[in-house]
């Protein structure tokens, strides 16, 4: 059972890595301090889908880590 959890954990972590790498840069950085950031513009639908997928995979990653430590 633990081996299956570790394989799923590997797949989820790889998918999480790919999705984070696919994100567009936010380009706010230190420019937000001076007021030159575009914080009032909406995000593209692609960015919204990526953000939700990253949050979902992050939650799954944490749950799988906890399960992998509990299961013998």
For the chain, domain boundaries: 1-21+44-72
Q: Are 49 and 19 in contact (CB under 8 A)?
A: no
Q: CA 53, CA 48: separation in Å to the nearest integer? A: 9
Q: Are 54 and 20 in contact (CB under 8 A)?
A: yes
Predicted TM-score (pTM) of this structure: 0.74
Confidence of residue 54 (pLDDT cuts 50, 70, 90): very high
Q: What confidence tens digit (pLDDT) does each residue in 11-47 have?
A: 999 999 999 999 877 666 565 565 555 555 666 788 8
Confidence of residue 6 (pLDDT cuts 50, 70, 90): very high
Q: Are 17 and 65 in contact (CB under 8 A)?
A: no
Q: CA 72, CA 68: separation in Å to the nearest integer? A: 8
């Amino acid at each position: 059972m633990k081996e299956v959890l570790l394989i799923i954990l590997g797949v989820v972590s790889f998918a999480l890595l790919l999705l984070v790498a696919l994100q567009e840069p936010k380009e706010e950085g230190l420019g937000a301090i001076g007021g030159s950031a575009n914080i009032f513009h909406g995000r593209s639908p692609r960015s919204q889908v990526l953000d939700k997928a990253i949050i979902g995979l992050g939650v799954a990653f944490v749950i799988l880590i906890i399960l992998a430590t509990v299961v013998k």
